[in-house]
Amino acid sequence: MIYLASNSPRRRELLKQINVRFEPLLFRTGARADADVNEDVLPGEDAFSYVQRVAMAKAVGGIKRISWRSLPPRLLLAADTTLELDGAIIGKPDNAEHAVDILRALSGRSHQVLTAVVVGNGQRYAQRLSVSEVRFRALDEQDIRRYVASGEAADKAGAYGIQGRAAVFIEEIRGSYTGIMGLPLFETAALLQEFGYPL
């Protein structure tokens, strides 16, 4: 059994796919969000630095919470996903109109999906980064608004989920399908094995 420092249903599904037993370790969100897991972009920070910093903050924050909550010590896995387009960091949409704006920007273009994964035990942390390229077909306004109205764009980096209806937008991917979903299984398995987790 490991701890998963994530609220993401996709990450839970992917860990189940490779038979990793886990217990969710949840953080506070919204107005009471935990200050030590700061997901704000820092001045001058690029997408590669950002996603790795946030994933590491989630892992270190998760290990602290194991101790604070007097939970049994176990390996902990944390991850973060973001998009990069023209040097800009694109995270989760703030609302439906923001999701529309993001999808308009991605329409007919290629972008990078970056997912950083961290495994740690309190004494040691190890990290891997998955970088994939995704090309969207040209989307018309009706495509975008129908997709956003479905509710699927909410709470997803880049305002889309490759495993859902947005699959019809994607002409080509280069890289890790599971990395685009939010947890690259090749890198995740390698990190867990590095810490002696049997797969």
pLDDT in tens, 54-112: 999 999 999 999 999 999 999 999 999 999 999 999 999 999 999 999 999 999 999 99
As a whole number, mean pLDDT of residues 8-30 equals 89
Record the pTM.
0.93
Contact status, residue 110 vs residue 134, Cβ threshold 8 Å: yes
Q: Please check the confidence at residue 191 and state whether its pLDDT lies above 80.
A: yes
Could you say which of 36, 40, 46, 80 is catalytic? 80
pLDDT score of 84: 98
**From the centroid of its chain, how far is CA 72?**
26
Catalytic status, residue 80: yes
pLDDT score of 32: 46
- Domain spanning 2-194, CATH architecture: Alpha-Beta Complex (3.90)
At 198, list the tokens. 């049997």
DSSP calls for 53-96: HHHHHHHHHHHHHHHHTTPPP--EEEEEEEEEETTEEE---SSH
**Strand-strand pairing, 22-24 and 2-4:** parallel
The mean predicted confidence, pLDDT, of the chain is 94
